[in-house]
Amino acid sequence: MAFATTHCVALDGARGHLIDVQADASSGQAGVVVIGRADAALREGLDRVRMAIVNSDLRWPSALRTTILLSPADLPKTGTHFDLAMALTVLAATGQVEHPQIAGTAFIGELTLAGGLRPAVGVLPMVLAALARGVRRVVVPEPQAEEAQLVPGVEVIGVRSLAQVVAVLAGEVPPDAPPVAAASGAHLLHWRGSGRLDDVDLADLRGMLDERYAAEVAAAGGHALMLSGAKGCGKTSLAERIPTILPDLTAEESLELTALHSLAGALGPGQGMIRRPPFAAPHHDASKASVIGGGQGRVQPGEISRAHCGVLFLDEFPLFRSDVIEALRQPLENGDITIARRDESITLPAGGMLVVASNPCPCGNWTANARTNSCTCPETVRRRYQSRLSGPIADRIDVLRHVQPASPASHDPFQPAETSQDVRVRVAAARERQRSRFADHGWRLNSQIPSPRLKDTWPVAQAGKQLIDNETHAGRLSARGAVRVQRLAWTVADLRSVRSGGEVEPGLEEVGVALRLRKGQALDLRTVCGSRGVA
């Protein structure tokens, strides 16, 4: 048969498109051509495919005119993982492989000149896309078979070489082949401090009851949190412990996050599903592409997408580049990030919890109390430093806390501090209430409720609404801030329901707590928590 078709997958950000890889080998001017908007790396694959076929003791159609079509032809294709699919269609078109053997199968993998296979980046989202289009069998490089098997309902065949693929399809014993080399992005080095956050616990902190409660509310509803205070007051220590109070990922969240890490090439061999919320803390000198996503060639997910369903911590926030800070507007508003180029526009999930920390001035010693203020920064320098956090960004951050240095009066040494496990139980219960409430909708947390639905379906009590309206009309709260206060009020009510074992709806008191969280004002934790003041 001179014509054959099989499948591969083209990635568009976190989305995959099933591609029909068709080959026609017929008489005419000898040569081979790839059509269908293939990029340079994909067109270079022709030479790899030709030498892989020849060095696998198979026949390359050198005397025929071979045309390879990647359909749909109007969709851009990029990457080297099309090699295996192109090789199989050529072999089927020249009668070396039976056409039914490759039909209904997606082939993913880069070929070497010797006919061996190399790992591909983004195998998991590719398999998900193939399954969504009805393809239930995929062939991948051997080290990535376990990754592909994370998708239920798909038959996965892991192979080492092109010759093994041909033998497996024919039902023969596959020949020996060298093991497939690990992906170039695999983690090869581990250093002494790489696991330093594995054993941190909220119980390590003394005092900070106000800030601990704010972190609990932010974690329960997925709200953005800003911690401001003098150096050494505990901002970073608290932020690093927020992942410990987040519950394990749901099956859906785990699959989403694992697919994103696969797309970024950060999923090591045999790593399996990511079950715990991630924590990312890029340095303040990080580029926009590394934080938001982008890069040369294929778009890479940034730290904000790799922290999806987890925590992205930006320490020394005013020191980040202004383009990085301003680029946070979209993910803070929508929970995703769109990277637009001349020929493509890619949207990636960015639904993690943003936590930022900042000092009041570059030296970090400024305080409002004249007796304790030891700041050496000129007033103009301090104002310029604070102005780097623009109004639109500040307006999108739900919770503000001014962290005070610990003092002997800030905690009771005879009362044990709550552990992360204690708080995680409440956060998990509050999130479960939200999942049940939004079961018939496309969101999971209070921070994701669209404004119109919040007003129509889940309004706060009339007294709470009146308080929000008064603040808005007085100019102390923007329209966006009013929506975020309502979302916070629902989270406060969820946590109160968990503590009391009853059903608490957001009313005047919950809105009052939400307003204080929003404005950075101190809380009366005995009233808020309904207990001895333990957050």
pLDDT in tens, 473-501: 999 999 999 999 999 999 999 999 999 88
Tokens of 316: 């020394």
161 and 187 in contact (C-beta within 8 Å)? no
3 state DSSP class of 27 = coil
pLDDT at position 532: 37
The yes/no answer on whether domain 224-397 falls in CATH 3.40.50.620 is no
Quick one: what percent of the chain has pLDDT higher than 70? 92
Q: Tell me the average pLDDT across 455-459.
A: 89
pLDDT at position 264: 84
Q: In 3D, which of 122, 173, 121, 162 has the Cα closest to residue 139?
A: 162
pLDDT at position 410: 57
Phi and psi of 499, rounded to 5°? -70, -40
Per the DSSP assignment, residues forming a β-bridge with 311 are: 279, 353
Quick one: what percent of the chain has pLDDT higher than 90? 60
Residues 191, 333: Cα–Cα separation, whole Å = 37
Give residue-wise pLDDT tens across range 353-392.
Answer: 999 999 888 887 777 676 777 788 888 888 888 888 888 8
Q: Tell me the average pLDDT across 446-456.
A: 90
pLDDT at position 381: 85
pLDDT surpasses 90 at 412: no
Residues 212, 202: Cα–Cα separation, whole Å = 8
Name which of 99-103, 144-148, 181-185, 503-507 the model is least confident about: 181-185
The confidence band for 533, taking pLDDT boundaries of 50, 70 and 90, is: very low
Give residue-wise pLDDT tens across range 113-126.
Answer: 999 999 998 899 99
pTM: 0.86
Same CATH topology for 3-169 and 224-397: the answer is: no
Of 416 and 222, which is predicted with more confidence?
A: 222
3 state DSSP class of 92 = helix
Domain ranges of the chain: 3-169, 224-397, 417-535
The confidence band for 267, taking pLDDT boundaries of 50, 70 and 90, is: confident
Q: In 3D, which of 5, 8, 4, 132 has the Cα closest to residue 75?
A: 8
Of 20 and 273, which is predicted with more confidence?
A: 20
In whole numbers, what is the pLDDT of the chain averaged over residues?
88
Q: What single-letter amino acid sits at 110?
A: E
Residues 33, 70: Cα–Cα separation, whole Å = 11
CATH code reported for the domain at 3-169: 3.30.230.10
pLDDT at position 11: 87
Indicate the length of the chain as a whole number.
Answer: 535
Top-confidence range, 178-182, 184-188, 503-507: 503-507
How far are the Cα atoms of 78, 257, 445, 527 from residue 304, in angstroms, in the given order? 23, 12, 18, 36
pLDDT surpasses 80 at 1: no
pLDDT surpasses 60 at 174: yes
pLDDT at position 193: 53
Q: Determine the angle formed by the axes of helices 83-93 and 162-169, rounding to 10 degrees.
A: 50
Name which of 223-232, 451-460, 487-496, 522-531 the model is least confident about: 522-531
Per the DSSP assignment, residues forming a β-bridge with 35 are: 69
238 and 449 in contact (C-beta within 8 Å)? no
